[in-house]
Structure 1
Amino acid sequence: MSSINTGFPDYDLEERKVVTAPHELRAIADPFRGILLDLLLERAATVSELAQAVGRPKSTVAHHVKVLLDAGFLRVVRTRRVRAIEESFYGRTARNIYVGKVRPEDVTPPPWPNELADAAEESMPAYLADRMRALRHHVSISERQAAEFWERVIALLNEFDQLPREGDIPYSFVVSLYPAEHPTLPPAAP
């Protein structure tokens, strides 16, 4: 698979990584590691830069970077010499991370984050300030249609990632597609 990079971040990365191994799932289950992964969609960064961005000690950030590195979510994309020490810049291995088929007995309950629940909590201040844009629709479609539509959503998400960094307010873009209990109309009469 070739790199899909067109500007952000400042290093090459694959389009997707599908994870199925329990150690990979545990690595991305920690919400703090998700923040680190998000930051690295902007550009490669050192442990010091990441620590400064999140306001945590370098030792804490270094631990989480190592977990992500060992699980294959991060890699060293370049280095530089600072005095007598080689400093590493870390980048993601893939823009999008998918949780693949997992045997329930390997990871019960699911350790990965519920992005929609996390987004609901994160969006509350914007909702209360009447600054949130959100939509929800229900449509009865086939699994094939859902899969095809989801691929177009991923393309839109990748476009969002590539927007020029012109503002000083971080925005979140949340998407979800899931089977839901919702009434549907009977087939139309001929």
Structure 2
Amino acid sequence: MAPAPDAEPDSATDPADLDADARALASTVRLRILRLCLDEPLTNREIADRLAKNPATVLHHVRTLVDRGFLAADPVRRGARGSREVPYRATRKSWRAPDFPGKWQLMLSTFLEEVAEADPESVRMTRLGVRLGAAEHDELMSRVDAFFGELAARRPSADGRPYSILFALHEDAGRLPRG
């Protein structure tokens, strides 16, 4: 996907940095944490509660995401019983992350976990088979990239409902000529 229009240029071109970023994103739990912290900062305990995971396990994932710049800590706040709580917010760096082997399977698995928790009435899916020439394929991808970039750059509506979008385009192997 193309970077969001207001995204800062990504200066990380070092293969070791790119590999470390890919490893940090290679977890459905981590991708779900990023989604949870997209609109509001959440503490480790709040993230663990929403994912129904052990807080110690979630903390490992949170630290990995913070170390790679995918999450940023907000100022410390006091919890209900006076404890120190660190809320974390997604930085949107993952939008600019390069592709890595297995990324599409990971994104699909993450999406399936999230859609399994969704109100069935809120889910709308379409499946369509088409035949596109090279120019039509390029046009489709350009329009999709531009639209997703526009959505990524928008400020969240304060009263808006959170939605998750998955776009997938793949060659339909079953419809290819058999040789």
Normalised TM-score (structure 2): 0.65
Partner residue, 2:167: 175
CA deviations on 1:119-163 (whole Å, 9 max, x unpaired) are 46765899x99x643143533343753553133231464389835
Q: Which has the higher contact order (CA 8 A, sep 6+)?
A: 2
Aligned to 1:54: 51
Aligned match of 1:80 in 71, 77, 85?
Answer: 77
Q: What letter is aligned with 2:146?
A: R
C-alpha distance in structure 2 between counterparts of 1:147 and 1:33, whole Å: 27
Between Structure 1 and Structure 2, the one with more strand by share is 1
CA distance in 1, matches of 2:125, 2:142: 24
What amino acid maps onto 1:172 in structure 2?
S
SS at match of 2:74: strand
Residue segments in structure 2 that go unaligned for 5+ positions in a row: none
Partners of 2:144 and 2:91 lie apart in 1 by: 21
Instruction: State the percentage of identical aligned residues.
Output: 23
More helix by share: 2
> What SS class does the counterpart of residue 78 from structure 1 fall into?
coil
| AA in 1 matched with 2:74 | V
Tell me, in whole angstroms, the C-alpha distance in 2 between the residues paired with 1:78 and 1:46.
Answer: 11
1:76 CA drift (Å): 1.0
Residues 107-126 of structure 1: CA deviation (Å, up to 9, x unaligned): xxx24352346546765899
* Distance (Å, rounded) in 1 between the aligned partners of 2:113 and 2:85: 36
Structure 2 counterpart of 1:43, from 37, 40, 45: 40
Helix, strand or coil at the partner of 2:125 = coil
- Output the CA distance in 2 between the equivalents of 1:164 and 1:123: 23
Counterpart amino acid of 2:166?
A: V
8 A Cα contact 1:40 1:91, kept in partner? yes
Structure 1 unaligned spans of 5+: 5-13, 103-109, 184-190
Counterpart contact for 1:16–1:94, Cα < 8 Å: no
Structure 2 Cα separation of the partners of residues 36 and 150 of structure 1: 25
| Cα distance in 1, alignment partners of residues 116 and 42 from structure 2 | 29
Partner of 1:145: 139
Give the secondary-structure state (helix, strand or coil) at the position aligned to 1:172: coil
Question: Is the Cα contact below 8 Å between 2:31 and 2:110 reproduced in 1?
Answer: no
Partner of 1:69: 66
How big is the shift at 1:71? 1.5
Following superposition, the deviation at residue 99 of structure 1 comes to: 4.0
- Partners in 2 of 1:151 and 1:40 — Cα distance? 23
TM value normalised by structure 1: 0.62
Match of 1:100 among 94, 98, 103: 98
Amino acid at match of 2:142: E
The number of residues matched between the two structures is: 164
Pick closer, same or farther for the CA change 1:84–1:166 going to 2, 3 Å: closer
**Alignment check: 8 A CA contact 2:72 2:89 kept:** yes
* Contact map agreement 1:47 1:62 (CA 8 A) in 2: yes
